């Protein structure tokens, strides 16, 4: 495919690719095994599978290399230079603990205490510098860290958000002799108040810099070796794309790269299909990831804890994860209540039916016993068949006998409890934030999401379920359609009453200019560049704030306009305004988005000529609501546009199974999506 743009999503087991020829509007998908430790080989093999590297215009990559390095604690050995008296900020956290109840467990920070060095310097909250740095002391600290084997160094000084001068001076000293580019400071990474969150984000950035840098280097070398002449980009946790140069500087922004790309694709697919409001549900082996898209826009979170104490604060697509996946273990607790998860058999040893040695039943085992999964054609391609008898025995022993239910009834109970947990996660994101579920469609992706979609739309009163044509490559598709994006934040701590709006406007304009430059330097074709402003605002005395979109160009900033925007946002969040109490502007944010050319998703539609009858594969017994039903089975990808399938039915494709419950019907839309709703 000459001139194509390729999205590449490297997961733990498979590397998924989606190649789009923007001129002809044609596409190809591919799935190749991932090669852990030698991702470049799998990456190139995948590119070959979609038509070769040499002529590609661009490659956009959603990666979990950063996420995995954090979860498995395989980042680099790094040093941290802190203000004298404050090297333990990183380890002391916010004085939290792992769980509300139970006092067990400890915490090991990513920088050991002897690699956290203190230097004399101090800035106050108003930006006053009490004591500047001593260059010789900074140099000695840096050299000591190098001698101790540090590959990267982070500088995080108290109140550096208010005045970055000391940090910048320290960094310039370090850059004189540090042997690589991996020197960062907190005011560059996150100039925002709250020392732990800023220090943690900065330290995790340094922790990832050598790992992500080396990974990108290997990929770039491999691409160059294959005569790749196009642009190579990375998806950020905010769902936007950045250059590899930016990714090397800010690797902490890749923590949710892959899942964020999936949400971006979901938004585009759903909007094209006429569903601007969707909830995505990605059911994997150990977890169910949910996100909400309203009016075509994903919702965002300001920070995330990747694990206890590993806090990253940067705007990211909000993805809520609960421990309920195909491998989640089912048990009856001492109080007689059926529990599904959070403990998981994962993909190894996996569910009982995999025959990998686990004998405790999982959600997948329940789906198998109910006939919803095809025992002869397991998805993913790793196994020849599934052991349904073993699954049934395990469910009988661990659940059925404890609850006085037969094995099939017990399997149904497991699916109901799992559905309830998934519904709970969706409810938290939607109904409990004031969104009416009847307006939303559910978009399941991953291999298992569409097994439960029908039950979830019934439980939650959702309008429909929208199953994309290729649920398994959603993230790769997202890479191709994601916009370029750069976020810039700055704590300002200003009082709204009597604010100098002209100088605030100038400040915003400077930030906007910088963010624009980052976007323009990306080298990808853009159809436009938008800049938005937001402020975190609160009543004086409150420490939490509401995110206020500032509906104005920087030049139009005025006290009255900002107040109006604040009161609108505050009223939406809480019932009562508090007149008479001064309003504060804590932090301002600039978001620059470079719009990519629109992709016509109709390219995904099935080709003409297929028929409903030709897609029919037969039928099998499937258990629904207390009894066996004969369900029609179809080859999903062979269904033509406009085909309508009434439940009970099972639609199968290589990487996913879709259950159409009794009382529901699924129709193929003009993009090849399945739209499932009440018959």
Could you tell me the CA-to-CA distances from 543 to 499, 536, 588 in Å, in that order? Answer: 20, 11, 15
E strand or H helix that includes residue 342: strand 338-344
Length of the chain: 679
Which tokens hold the place of 65?
């290399």
* Closer of 409 and 635 to other proteins (Cβ): 409
Nearer to other proteins, 113 or 621 (CB): 113
Per CB under 8 A, the list member of 35, 55, 510, 542 interacting with other proteins is 542
Q: Is 302 in the site for other proteins (CB under 8 A)?
A: no
Task: State which of residues 438, 573, 598, 614 lies at the interface with other proteins (CB under 8 A).
Answer: 573
Q: Which CB sits closer to other proteins, 576 or 630? A: 576
- Pick between residue 322 and residue 473 the one whose CB is nearest to other proteins: 322
Total interface residues for other proteins by CB under 8 A? 67
609 part of the interface to other proteins, by CB under 8 A: no
How far apart, in whole angstroms, are the C-alpha atoms of residue 568 and residue 425?
Answer: 28
Q: To the nearest whole angstrom, how small is the minimum distance from the Cβ of residue 222 to other proteins?
A: 39
Instruction: Kindly state the DSSP code that residue 336 receives in the 8-state scheme.
Output: S
Task: Using alpha carbons, select from 171, 168, 191 the residue that is nearest to residue 181.
Answer: 171
Element (H, E) at 223: helix 195-225
Determine, following the binding rule CB under 8 A, whether residue 532 of this chain makes contact with other proteins.
no
| Residue with Cβ nearer other proteins (93 or 485) | 93
Residues near 671 by beta carbon (within 8 Å), at least 6 away in sequence? 269, 272, 273, 469, 601, 602, 604, 605
Q: Which of 193, 426, 645, 660 binds other proteins (CB under 8 A)?
A: 193
Residues 575-604, mask of contacts with other proteins (x by CB under 8 A): xx-x--x-----------------------
Question: In the bound complex, what is the minimum distance in angstroms from residue 364's beta carbon to other proteins?
Answer: 19
Stretch that binds other proteins, among 81-89, 204-212, 523-531, 649-657 (CB under 8 A): 81-89
Contact track, other proteins, 278-297, x by CB under 8 A: --------------------
Query: Closest CB to other proteins among 283 and 460?
Result: 460
Single residue of 23, 113, 176, 297 touching other proteins by CB under 8 A:
113
Residue closer to other proteins, measured from CB, 167 or 655: 167
Backbone angles phi, psi at 60, to 5 degrees: -120, 130
439 binds other proteins (CB under 8 A): no
Query: Residue 177 or residue 574: which is nearer to other proteins going by CB?
Result: 574
Compute the chain's Rg from CA coordinates.
26
- CA dist 119 and 157 (Å) reads 9
Q: Which is nearer to other proteins, 77 or 218 (CB)?
A: 77
Question: Could you tell me if 631 and 650 are in contact, meaning their C-beta atoms sit under 8 angstroms apart?
Answer: yes
In angstroms, the Cα distances linking 435 to 46, 293, 315, 546 are 40, 11, 22, 18
Per the CB < 8 A criterion, the answer to whether 546 and 537 are in contact is: yes
Exposed / middle / buried, residue 332 (Cβ in 10 Å: 0-12, 13-18, 19+): middle
Residue found by looking up tokens 């769980």 in the block = 99
493 binds other proteins (CB under 8 A): yes
Q: C-beta of 296: minimal distance to other proteins in Å? A: 26
Number of H helices, E strands in the chain: 18, 33
Q: How far is the CB of 251 from other proteins (least distance, A)?
A: 25
Of 434 and 618, CB closest to other proteins: 434
- Which range of residues in 294-302, 414-422, 511-519, 547-555 is near other proteins by CB under 8 A? 414-422
Residues 421, 107, 184, 38: what is their CA dihedral angle, to the nearest 10 degrees? -70
Applying CB under 8 A, among 355, 424, 549, 640 the residue interacting with other proteins is 424
Min CB(542)–other proteins separation in Å: 5
Buried b (16+ CB within 10 A) or exposed e, 558-585: eeeebbebbeebbeeeeeeeeeeeebbb
Per rule CB under 8 A, is residue 165 in the interface with other proteins? no
Rounded Cα distance, 608 and 519, in Å: 40
Q: With respect to other proteins, which residue has the nearer C-beta, 242 or 366?
A: 366
Cβ distance to other proteins smaller for residue 335 or 498: 335
> Which residue spans within 274-327 are E strands per DSSP?
278-283, 288-294, 297-298, 300-307, 310-317, 320-322
Eight-state DSSP code of residue 362: B
Which range in 23-31, 202-210, 231-239, 335-343 contacts other proteins by CB under 8 A? 335-343
In the complex, the smallest distance separating the C-beta of residue 571 from other proteins, rounded to whole angstroms, is 12
Q: Based on the shown chain and the rule CB under 8 A, indicate whether residue 393 belongs to the binding site for other proteins.
A: no
Q: Is 634 in the site for other proteins (CB under 8 A)?
A: no
Nearer to other proteins, 539 or 624 (CB): 539
Residue 306's Cβ-side half-sphere holds a number of Cα atoms within 13 Å equal to 28
Q: Please identify which residue in 21, 45, 86, 629 interacts with other proteins, judged by CB under 8 A.
A: 86
Measured distance CA(88)–CA(30) in Å, rounded: 47
d(CA 372, CA 466): 19
* Stretch in the footprint of other proteins (CB under 8 A) among 68-76, 79-87, 171-179, 448-456: 79-87
Three-class secondary structure assignment of 147-163: HCCCCEEEEECCCCCCC
Kindly state whether residue 136 participates in binding other proteins, applying the rule CB under 8 A.
no
Q: Is 132 in the site for other proteins (CB under 8 A)?
A: no
- Part in contact with other proteins (CB under 8 A); list of ranges 25-33, 67-75, 334-342, 387-395: 334-342
Q: Does 99 bind other proteins (CB under 8 A)?
A: yes
CA–CA distance, 63 with 212 (Å, rounded to integer): 10
Integer angstrom CA distances of residue 27 from 53, 365, 471, 640? 15, 35, 15, 18
| Site residues (vs other proteins, CB under 8 A) | 85-89, 91-107, 112-114, 122, 124-125, 130, 158-159, 161, 193-197, 333-339, 403, 413, 416-417, 420-421, 423-424, 427-428, 432, 493, 539, 541-544, 573-576, 578, 581
């Amino acid at each position: 495919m000459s001139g194509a743009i390729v999205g590449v999503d490297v997961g733990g087991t498979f590397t998924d690719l989606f190649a789009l020829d923007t001129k002809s509007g044609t596409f190809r998908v591919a799935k190749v095994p991932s090669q852990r430790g030698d991702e470049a080989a799998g990456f190139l093999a995948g590119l070959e599978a979609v038509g070769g590297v040499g002529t590609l215009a661009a490659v956009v990559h959603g990666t979990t290399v950063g996420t995995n390095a954090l979860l498995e604690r395989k980042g680099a050995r790094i040093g941290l230079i802190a203000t004298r008296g404050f090297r333990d900020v990183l380890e002391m956290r916010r004085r939290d603990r792992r769980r509300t109840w139970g006092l067990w467990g400890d915490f090991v920070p990513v920088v050991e205490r002897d690699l956290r060095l203190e230097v004399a310097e101090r800035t106050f909250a108003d930006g006053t510098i009490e004591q500047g740095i001593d260059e010789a002391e900074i140099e000695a600290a840096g050299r000591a860290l190098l001698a101790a084997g540090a590959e990267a160094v982070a500088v995080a000084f108290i109140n550096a958000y208010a005045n970055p001068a000391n940090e910048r001076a320290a960094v310039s000293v370090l850059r004189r002799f540090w042997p690589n580019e991996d020197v960062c400071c907190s005011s560059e990474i996150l100039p925002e108040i709250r020392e732990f969150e800023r220090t943690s984000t900065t330290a995790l950035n340094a922790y990832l810099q050598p790992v992500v840098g080396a990974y990108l280097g290997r990929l770039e070398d491999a691409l160059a070796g294959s005569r790749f002449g196009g642009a190579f980009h990375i998806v950020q946790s905010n769902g936007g794309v950045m250059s590899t140069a930016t990714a090397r500087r800010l690797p902490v922004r890749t923590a949710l790269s892959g899942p964020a790309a999936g949400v971006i694709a979901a938004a585009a697919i759903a909007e094209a299909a006429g569903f601007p409001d969707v909830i995505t549900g990605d059911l994997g082996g150990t977890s169910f990831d949910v996100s909400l898209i309203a009016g075509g826009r994903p919702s965002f979170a300001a920070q995330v804890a990747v694990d206890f104490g590993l806090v990253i604060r940067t705007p990211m697509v909000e993805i809520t994860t609960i421990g309920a996946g195909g491998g989640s273990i089912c048990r009856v607790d001492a109080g007689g209540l059926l529990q599904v998860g959070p403990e998981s058999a994962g993909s190894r040893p996996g569910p009982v039916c995999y025959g990998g040695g686990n004998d405790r039943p999982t959600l997948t085992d329940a789906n198998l016993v109910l006939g919803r999964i095809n025992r002869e054609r397991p998805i993913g391609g790793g196994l020849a068949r599934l052991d349904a008898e073993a699954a049934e025995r395990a469910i009988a022993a661990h659940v059925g006998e404890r609850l006085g239910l037969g094995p099939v009834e017990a399997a149904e109970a497991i699916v109901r409890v799992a559905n309830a947990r998934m519904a709970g996660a969706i409810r938290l994101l939607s109904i409990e934030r004031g969104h009416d579920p009847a307006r939303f469609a559910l978009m399941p992706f991953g291999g298992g999401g569409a097994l439960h979609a029908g039950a979830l739309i019934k439980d939650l009163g959702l309008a429909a379920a929208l199953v994309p044509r290729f649920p398994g490559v959603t993230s790769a598709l997202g890479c191709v359609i994601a916009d370029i994006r750069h976020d810039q934040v700055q704590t300002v701590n200003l009082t709204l009453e009597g604010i100098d709006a002209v100088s605030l406007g100038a400040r915003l304009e400077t930030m906007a200019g910088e963010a624009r430059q980052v976007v323009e330097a990306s080298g990808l074709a853009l159809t436009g560049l938008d800049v938005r402003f937001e402020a975190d605002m609160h009543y004086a005395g409150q420490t939490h704030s509401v995110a206020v979109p500032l509906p104005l160009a920087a030049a139009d900033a005025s006290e009255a306009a900002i107040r109006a925007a604040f009161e609108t946002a505050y009223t939406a969040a809480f019932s009562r305004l508090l007149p008479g109490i001064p309003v504060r502007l804590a932090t301002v944010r600039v978001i620059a988005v470079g719009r990519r050319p629109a992709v016509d998703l109709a390219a995904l539609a099935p080709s003409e000529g297929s028929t409903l009858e030709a897609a029919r594969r037969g039928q099998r017994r499937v258990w629904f609501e207390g009894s066996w039903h004969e369900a029609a089975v179809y080859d999903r990808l062979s269904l033509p546009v406009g085909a309508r399938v009434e439940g009970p039915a099972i639609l199968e494709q290589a990487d996913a199974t879709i259950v159409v419950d009794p009382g529901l019907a699924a129709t193929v839309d003009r993009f090849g999506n399945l739209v499932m709703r009440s018959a």
